[in-house]
Structure 1
């Protein structure tokens, strides 16, 4: 009589495999759930980022000037509303007008570009006609793809418009959440610690708290320093472009300041439209603007950033570019900005781990 053995591990493996297959088949549903969850959590993520920015100001008012926390928060928020109001009244109309003017002038830019290529083509009359024909055929063959790309960009602009409206709502909600995070940060942290000890146990809870404290310190110092650094760069750039008679100096200065938050790639992205737009009006202004902005970036890298930010958390250029590329690939511009301090924390603990293992091998 043959006895049949029952292997629970085989049944578990089959069940898990079946569930994984169903997950892969329904990946769109799970991605939709993930995007919905991410959308719900976005105001909380923004609130924690804002808390990093506002906490030093609130702490200064509370501990240095002996103002109660609730009043320190109200003063900070009042100053911020005044700052945003001033920006909307004095700066935003100029920036919006500049953007509208660039859009209205776009046909002119296209005509000038076509004229340049026609003139360039006339200068190539001595070139073999068959070669020019091949180049022309390739360009004409690429036109449908370019057209489809432009249509895609137009659709993306509409999607971005609705996303901006959604982001404004999330940003307002984040300000409210941030207010209560800072107001009750001690009780919030105590609750967070208790939950960690219950879920992870003493050993891993302590490790998580240690990583969290390191991450908190790195993000706080880096992000606030980088914002001040980028603000200075934006102001200096706008003033210089204005005196160089650059078109849309305020718009470009604001763009350069914002893009400066992104290491390595940001300054290049910020400079590019300055040079391209000014080329259509005055090539010499475009050249001088490029030279000036390169000089500003050198001063920023050599003087401003080390004093304010503190040397990029000790990251090498390779690790910084890697962090920005990965962060931007997954989370866009916010990921590019926050990836550097996160990479700094990863480097700290990875270095500790490697040194500890190296000592164990030597013993």
Structure 2
């Protein structure tokens, strides 16, 4: 019996390479069909999972205010979820009825004003050039400056306004095209928030089985990352919303064109660490430059003042130092995220970098203590 068993094992050892070779030949022969089949199923699977992904993102964002309501006001889960989604629904309805029409009108007006704005800038350039007095004996200096402004600054301002308009329009079209998925995502997010603990328990059970000895370390990392990202996004969103409202009011008071539109852009760009407020200010100045140089100068001054007040008062109060990322690492993280991951990556770059720096400091401290212990021994 043992002999028969050994012979069978030897036969299997010879058969397995033959079977694998045959399968490999079949795969190579029908490679294009297999790739097409996998691609189609991945596309179908992604479309099916899209509402769940949207629901998870919505639930993750609203989880922080829900926890705040439950801990501060001792509300039950159902009531806190109902309050949060009620407020969100009111904001969406208000924006759709009163803000979106204004933005659409501003975008259409901006498109029609671009040719006139270019002429305004060109006449301004000519006025400045004719009034310049050069102390150096270089007859080409004036011509070079004029050509630089016309060939670089004017096209830059035009493309900036066009890009902003296209981004907003594309964003609206994406929201409309994803209406069904967003609706399903909202429903899924409600179920996720209502049964959050059960979902976390299931994830913990599966993670323990898969990760085994590494479970505790990875759980700690995920908890730290979750706390950093969740708290940072909510705090930064509140800070940016207040900043956008203040910018809108100030721009309206100084008579800026498209005050509401520019205030929304300022709020959105302020979510981008370090570079965001600068981008919002540049956009506001360039758009106002289409109509009046004096108005653009006033907008530049007031935007710089509001930006400094925001960085000195609002951001420390809401965001604080909870991510603990030095400016040099902030610039590096935002630059790399902007190149490889897009807006979401830029938004998450600072809290993620904060977590990585925390673990790097832990490692350095551990190695330093180990070195001291070795020297003492």
TM-score over 0.5 for the pair: yes
- Pick from 226, 237, 240: which aligns with 2:247? 237
Aligned to 1:57: 65
Q: How does 1:120-269 map to 2 (within 5 A)?
A: 128=139, 163-201=174-212, 203-269=213-279
CA contact (8 A) 1:52 1:224 kept: no
- Pick from 53, 76, 79: which aligns with 2:84? 76
CA contact (8 A) 1:226 1:261 kept: yes
Alpha-carbon deviation of 1:119?
5.5
Instruction: Map Cα deviations across residues 75-124 of structure 1 (whole Å, 9 max, x no partner).
Output: 22122111111121122211211111101111112323444455667679
Call closer, same or farther: CA 1:33–1:128 in 2, change over 3 Å.
Answer: farther
- Tell which structure's C-alpha radius of gyration is larger: 2
CA contact (8 A) 1:271 1:293 kept: yes
CA contact (8 A) 2:256 2:288 kept: yes
Alpha-carbon deviation of 1:331?
2.2
User: Is structure 2 residue 350 aligned with structure 1 residue 323?
Assistant: no
SS at match of 2:346: helix
Aligned to 2:320: 310
SS at match of 1:105: helix
User: Is structure 2 residue 98 aligned with structure 1 residue 90?
Assistant: yes
SS at match of 2:341: helix
Call closer, same or farther: CA 1:223–1:32 in 2, change over 3 Å.
Answer: farther
Call closer, same or farther: CA 1:299–1:121 in 2, change over 3 Å.
Answer: closer
User: Is structure 2 residue 358 aligned with structure 1 residue 342?
Assistant: no
SS at match of 2:94: helix
CA contact (8 A) 1:262 1:337 kept: yes
CA contact (8 A) 1:305 1:311 kept: no
> Normalized against structure 2, the TM-score is what?
0.74
Call closer, same or farther: CA 1:198–1:107 in 2, change over 3 Å.
Answer: same
Aligned to 1:3: none
Call closer, same or farther: CA 1:257–1:49 in 2, change over 3 Å.
Answer: same
Call closer, same or farther: CA 1:130–1:293 in 2, change over 3 Å.
Answer: closer
Aligned to 2:299: 289
Alpha-carbon deviation of 1:256?
0.2
Distance 2:345 2:250 in 1: 30
> Normalized against structure 1, the TM-score is what?
0.77
Call closer, same or farther: CA 1:292–1:119 in 2, change over 3 Å.
Answer: closer
SS at match of 1:220: helix
Q: Return 5+ residue gaps in structure 2 as ranges.
A: 1-16
Q: How does 1:107-126 map to 2 (within 5 A)?
A: 107-116=115-124
Q: Return 5+ residue gaps in structure 1 as ranges.
A: 1-10
Instruction: Map Cα deviations across residues 45-78 of structure 1 (whole Å, 9 max, x no partner).
Output: 5444433432233234445545432232122212
Q: How big is the alpha-carbon RMSD for the aligned residues of Structure 1 and Structure 2? A: 4.0
Alpha-carbon deviation of 1:165?
4.2
- Pick from 97, 107, 113: which aligns with 1:105? 113
Call closer, same or farther: CA 1:80–1:352 in 2, change over 3 Å.
Answer: same
SS at match of 2:256: coil
> How many residues of Structure 1 are paired with residues of Structure 2 in the alignment?
332
Report the more deviating stretch, 31-40 or 245-254.
31-40
CA contact (8 A) 1:264 1:321 kept: yes
